[in-house]
Structure formats: structure tokens, C-alpha cells
Chain A
Amino acid sequence: MDIGYYPGCALHGSSNDYEMSVRACLEVLGVQLREVDDWICCGATAAHSLNQKLAVALPARNLALAECQGMQDLLAPCPMCSMELIKANQAISADAKLKKEMAEIVELKVEGKVSVLNLIQIFQQVGLDRIKELAVKSLDEFKPACYYGCLLTRPPEALQFDDCEQPSSMETLLEGLGAAPIDWNYKTECCGAGMTMSNEDTVLDLSHKILTNAADHGANCLVVACPMCHVNLDMKQADIDRRYNVQHDMVVYYLSDLVGFALGLDEQRLGVNRHFVAKH
């Protein structure tokens, strides 16, 4: 399987462990990633809170590049990126005037026809059966709390992915690979996201609640599919521990880490050794 790949800023910066993990994992699954040549930032929260046109134009440029580089499916492992790309896609294909305007701004023809996928959807496309065939190890030591955060399922009218309030696609995948995901209450709550720069207190509070609830429900690890969530829950865990005088000791994996373990990849290949909270 050959697929377009939009890493976004995070995967080439602070969360390059996520990229290592995604690449390693998909290589074993036979998914060839073709990175969009000359991609730019998706705009993220900054663009859509400041300038509606810019919020469409930035992802539109990336969509246009993907289109003219002949990509049909485009993996954006960061949910913020995939959400922005999907929203731009929908806006452009629904509005001929906007489409024309965007083509002028980004100086490329853009149709809004690329299908943008998140990491879970790639695994779904490969198929659980195929992943099971390739798996060499059961995940039975893991009792993960699958954490979707705000953006994997929201806004539901744009993403149309899973049940937006009670999602279960990560659980289905990991259960199939032998893990025993727990049922808990903070699957779709916010971790504080970009507030980590401007209002750390909020992030520490929200992330502390997430970690606490996962542990209370018997989780021995958290699984995320978002670089921002990983930063707040993993990198900031020491700060949370200090602030609330607790010892969470909760390992936070990317979804591709666990799938990678099942496929026989080690922590170095997946970049897990670069996480802040280590498994004891």
C-alpha cells in the first residue's frame, strides 16, 4: 500500500519519536509513506482563531500539493492537522467560489478530493486481520486506557469518525492484538493541549485528572494518537507529580508503539526509549 504522508510540524519537531514509531510500524505492515513534498504548517489553532481565510489557505496549500503529487489518501498522524485538512477539504469542495479563491492564494489548483486519514484509520485500512497475521507477540501484558482527546472524533460533523462521545476504535484494534483495554471516563476529555505554553496550571490540572482516572480504572498504560496529548501526559507528568504530590508512573504510548510491540519491534526502533516516563 502506497500512501501520502503529511507529518506536520510536531512530528518533525518535538514529537519526532511519534514519527519514528509510525514509520517503523507502517514499514512492517507494508505501507509505503510518500511524504508531501514542500509541505507547510496546517495553521493549527493559531490560524483558525485569528483569520478564517488563512485557516483554509494553509491546509489548502498542502492539499493542493498532495493532489498534484498524485496522492489519493493522505495520512496526517496529528489529529489537529488531520482535522484542519479535513475541514479545508470540505469547505473547498462545497464552495466553488472559495475553491477558486484558494487556488489563487496557494497558486495551485485545488479540488478538495484527497481523503485525509488519521492513524487509527490507516490501521483500519490495513485491516485487523492482516495486522494479526504479521503480529509476533501478544499484547496481553498491557491494560491500556485508550485516550482520544478532543480532536480525534471532533467536530463530529466534519470528521465523521467513530462515536464522538463514546469512541471504541482504538480498543477494538488493541483488543484484537491481545491487550485488555479498560473502560474509563476520560477518553474524550481535553488534556489542555496548546495551553501548555500559555497556561500551564490548566494543563497540569486536566492531565492530572486524566492520569488519575486511568489508574483508578486499572490501566497500566495510556495510549494516545496525538503528539500534543503525549507532551502533556508524558513530558509534563513529572510536573504533575510535583504539583499534586503524587507518583503517577503512568507510561504513555502512541498507538503505533503498541501495534509495533505486537509486530516485534523494540523500544529503540519505535522511539519509546525517548519517552519521559519509562516502564519499570
Chain B
Amino acid sequence: MARIGVFTCWCGENIARNVDVEKVAEAIGKLPHVRCSVAYKYMCSDPGQAIMREKIVSEGLTGVVVASCSPHMHLKTFRKAAESEGLNPYVVEMANIREHCSWVHHNKEDATRKAIDLVRMSVAKVLRNHALDPIRVPVTKRALVIGGGVAGIQAALDIADAGHEVVLVERDPSIGGKMAGLSETFPTLDCSQCILTPRMVDVGQHPNIKLHTYSEVEAVDGYLGNFKVTIRKKARYVDMDKCTGCGICWNACPSKKNLSEFDFGMGTRKAIYVPFPQAVPARPVIDANACIKLTKDKCGLCEKKCPAGAINFDDQDELITEEIGAVVVATGYKLYDIGKEQQNDKLAGYGEYGYGKYKDVIDSLQFERIVSASGPTVGEIQRPSDGKEPKSVVFISCVGSRDNAKGVSYCSKICCMYNAKHTMLYKHKVHDGQAHVFYMDIRAGGKNYDEFVRRAIEQDGAQYHRGRVSKITEENGKLIVRGVDTLAGVPVTVEADLVVLAAAMRPADGVEQLAQKLNVGYDEFGFLSESHPKLRPIETNAAGVFVCGACQGPKDIPESVAQASAAAGKVMMMFSRKELTREPEVACVNEQNCAACFACARACPFNAIEQAEIRDRNGNLVKRTARVNPGLCMGCGTCVAICPSKSVDLEGFTEQQIYAQVESLV
């Protein structure tokens, strides 16, 4: 015989203003099986919980309904309170009479009637609840970090320093990401390489970090705490164990004119190369498309000269698997491809800036390489067309950002700051030069950020024009930049030697495919979706997968690093437990009834449904059936809706419970 207790909350004025809570309590008290029905001002407070606990004992309750706010808010609170009196937490239900009722209705009489309906439905449901046990899964205390930029490096080092193993996968031949190529960083103008390269060395030497560079994640299987990750190690043509990084090979290589990815095409590299001298690992890789031996079967100079015999032209891609407990995604960003054919044809445009047509129109990352001491010009500011020192440079903000017609709607967040930085770095090197900035707004929120922009304007004399540039043309070796100053209300024409376009920040290539492998959501721009924008900014909707850095949205270095440490913290929290528990409200297949059509398996967004076989004791196949992996199931209920034979049910939300709720309403 069920004995249900119902506890209705006033929520101070929040509920009581529009719902007659005493009337609700009284009406519900008359329902069959309801042993007690109480109203109290704050059910979630200590005395409120005490009332509930006392009633559970004195009335010998077998089920509890709390009529108050959203279960997102306090379901855990009340379940914990019930558990402390020996009741299974999953026989506690909530009726949301605040967000779903008092907050959205004004007529008290109607709202009270609706509140009674809502509570009655919950009573009907709780009568059919049964005890559930949390799912326990073991945890492999080993983390995978995808992406070796500053965010990935930070996350990997934090986790490794806490004593856990880390597998770090990087697509490029070296870790370091975009930050390794930057000149100096805002708002302090400290050298990017000086702060990053020691961290890169730490990664390379850390006993707990297994580094796979020139590698990509091929497939992800398994679930929270128990992932199996397949990694493709791309053919490097250099034996990492034999190679000493002496450099004889790349000095000998005759294939010289390959554009350097690290220099964003501003410099060249050999066919066998390390991307930059401080690369980690400091081992070369052969570009198979540029190598004369691999393309024409001639040359082979590097192989002949290598004293360690490390060159292997027969190298093949290799697939390896790693067992992993948690994943941190830190795949970073790329710049909007200005004026090029875009994959997404909505993002085409800016032909008026002549990027790709005029050599002296470059993007911001290319400018970073020109001012960087490690760049192709060794830090001398020279324009690409003729190597002359530019005496007038125009920086254009928001190329692609905040532009619904040709670009993306969002603000890329970091461009205002790096534009200011660029004008300063330029002025510090070219004292008689003049920097101009065309901007829409200056967005410099952050510690010491606005002061930094003011310095660029007031001390280093950057000319800021509030307005857009309409066209760039080239005449007699000068770039004619035509724009408008909307504050002065006049058209502005600047004769520039160099133009730098602050292109929008977009997620790195391939992130959508990776997100699909990991079952992580992403937005229309391809940025990975966090679980909650405020309270769960690191977690994703895939349990055990965390995000940090610019793959989640435009971010600067300090923010990326902070988020990376937060992600590492979340991983360490997971690894601090012997086993992980998950909510037991997952799907469950009635294997007797299952017709093995596997419609559910195809519909499941989390790949949580497997094909299983039932065999008799002699090993003969009795039947095939769908089976839910409770480690993977997120309890969304898609399979329940799609099953043609009604063989799947969701624990805690069974069809019986839901029909009972509906029935109690009509």
C-alpha cells in the first residue's frame, strides 16, 4: 500500500503570490494514497527539509512529491534529504508550480487550479515510481587532450602534474598552436615564444604525457570513464626514435620553395622540415607533396646524408588505440578565409579588399609573423611585395566579424586588442611610420585592456577612424584605402604601404567531424557547445568530454588558459573517484519483446544501443536484441518514441508513469 507525502512550497512570495498554496495542499490531501499534505514557506530551507524528513519517518512514507520550483533547481536537494531517512532517492518527484505556473499566470484562481492539476499528476507518477540504483562505472585514469595549442598544453600539464597520464594529440608536426607564431602578447607585450616554449618543453619531457604529433583522432568508442580512442599517426617519413634532430637533412634538402604553414605563407620551408626552431618534438617531418623523392622518385639526399639512418620513405600512416577515461577538446581556431571560395557560400566576400590580389594586403596572423623575431624577416617590418619598410599601415577591424551580409554575426572578441597591439609594435619598430585603424567599436573589456588601447592611441599615436573601408586599390605601389570616418562624417582616403585585415575567428577545420565522433554539439558556426552557458561552461552534453579554448568560442590567451585549467580540474575531479556514478534514468530494453529491428540504434544520438545476441546454455542463438549501454545512454528517450514494438522504456519516465500522469489530468 503506497503512502505518499506531498510538500507544497510557498517559495516566499514567488509561488504564494499567484497560487493559493494552502488550498493546493488541502485539495491534494484528499487524494487516495496521500498520507500527508503540508505547505511551508521555504521547503528547500533547513526547517522545510526537516518537516519532510520527519514525515517520512512518522508516516512511513513510500513516496514523496515536492511541489515547488524546477527540478533543475532542487530535485537533488530533496532526494538527498529523503535518502538520509532511508528512502530511495528515486521515489521523490517534483511538481513545478513556480516556473510552470505562478511565474507565468496572473489570475490566482486559475493558477491555483492548474497547480492542483500539476501536483495531482506528480502524485499519479510517484505511485508508479520504484527504487533505482545509480549506475556505477569504472574509470580509466588517463586523459586524452585533443589539440596542442596553449589551451591543450595547459590542460595536459595540469592533469599530468596531478599525477595522471595524459595522451596529447596534435594535428601539426609540432605543438604550440597559434600562440607559438605570435610576436608579443597583449596587454603586457611580453614575448609569446618566451612564455610558451618552456611550457612546450615541459610537455615534451613530462613523464606522464604521451605526445602524438602529426596525428589525428580517427574514432572514439566507449563511454564516460571508458573511452577507446583510435588515433591516426600520419606518415612522417622520419623515425622518431632514431632521429636526433641534428638538422643535416633539412639543410641538404633541395626543395626550398614551399610556403611555410607556420609563417602563414609569409616565408618558405624545405620539403623536410621542422616548422620552427623551438618545435616540440624537435624532429622533422617530410611533406609528401613537396618531396622530390616521394613525388618523382629522385633525390633522396636527406636519406643519404642522415647520420642516424632515420629517413624512411616507405613510412605509412599508423592506427593506434588508447584507453582513456576523459577527453579535453582544445582544437582552437583559424581565421576566416578572406575573399576565397568559402565552404559555406554565405561566407563569401570582401573582394573589395583585394586580399590575394594585392601582395601587401595581409591578415593579422601574417602580420604577427612579420613582426615576430622568429619570423621570416627576423622581426624587421618589411612588406611582402618589395621588402620595403612600410611607412603607413592600415589595420581594418571586423573583417568577417559582426557582418551578417558577408561574414559571421558574432564579435571575434580579440581583434580590437591585437589591432592596438599591432599599432604599438609597428610604431616601436618604425618610429616615423603612421598606423591607422578602421573600426566599428573598440571592445576592450578586461583587466588592463582599455588602458592598453588608450596607450596605442595616446602614446604611440595610432590614428583611429570609426568606420568601414569600402575599397582598397593599388596605384603606383601604394594601396589606396578608401573608407569613412563616421564620427567626423567625412570620407577618408589613406595611402598605405601595407594593409592588415583582422579576419574573424572561426573554429579550426574538421572540428565538426570531431564533434560528431565525440557526440558533442556545435553551433551554426561550428563552435562546440558547452552544457550550460553559465554554470557548466567546460562540460559538454557528452559525459566525460570537456572543452576549452577557442574551439568553444572566440577567446584570448588568458581566457583559454583559465578554461583549460578548469577543464583539467573537472578531469581531476573525475579521476579522484574509484568509480563514477551516473543517474539511473536511462533506457532499458525489454529483451523478450524486442523484434531486433534496431530502429532505436539508428535513432540514438549517443550510439548507446548495441546489437546483442541471446543464446541458450548450449550456445545456440535464441534471438537477437537491442541492448542499452547504460554508460553511454543520456536518457533522452528518442528510442522509446521510435520503437515500433514498444519494447524500450525509460527508467524514471516509463510509459506507464507518463500515461498515469495524463490520465490523472483528463
Contacts and interface: CB of A to CB of B under 8 A. Distances in A.
Interface of A: 163-166, 185-186, 189, 213, 216
B345 to A, nearest CB: 10
A163 B350 CA distance: 10
Contacts, number: 19
Nearest to B475: A185
Contacts of B357: 166
Contacts of B352: 165-166
Interface of B: 349-352, 354, 357, 471, 473-475, 480
Contact of B351 (A164, A213, A216): A164
Contacts of A189: 471
B473 A165 contact: no
Contacts of B475: 185, 213, 216
Contacts of B474: 185
A100 to B, nearest CB: 30
A12 to B, nearest CB: 34
A73 B214 CA distance: 54
A223 B520 CA distance: 55
Nearest to A217: B475
Nearest to B351: A165
Nearest to A155: B405
Contacts of B471: 165, 189
Given A166-B357, A216-B475, A185 B351 contact: no
B491 to A, nearest CB: 12
A189 B351 CA distance: 13
19 contacts: A163-B351, A164-B351, A165-B349, A165-B350, A165-B351, A165-B352, A165-B471, A166-B351, A166-B352, A166-B354, A166-B357, A185-B473, A185-B474, A185-B475, A185-B480, A186-B473, A189-B471, A213-B475, A216-B475
A185 B476 CA distance: 12
A156 to B, nearest CB: 8
A216 B477 CA distance: 13
A216 B480 CA distance: 15
- Most chain B CB within 10 A, of A163, A164, A185, A213, is at A185
Nearest to A187: B473
B238 to A, nearest CB: 42
A242 to B, nearest CB: 25
A186 B354 CA distance: 13
A72 to B, nearest CB: 26
A42 B185 CA distance: 57
Contacts of A166: 351-352, 354, 357
Contacts of A185: 473-475, 480
Nearest to A165: B351
A186 B350 CA distance: 16
A58 B388 CA distance: 56
Nearest to A164: B351
Nearest to A186: B473
A193 B656 CA distance: 74
Nearest to B406: A156
A166 B358 CA distance: 12
A187 to B, nearest CB: 10
A109 B352 CA distance: 41
A166 B474 CA distance: 13
A165 B480 CA distance: 16
A157 to B, nearest CB: 8
Contacts of A164: 351
Nearest to A183: B357
B495 to A, nearest CB: 13
B535 to A, nearest CB: 40
Contacts of B350: 165
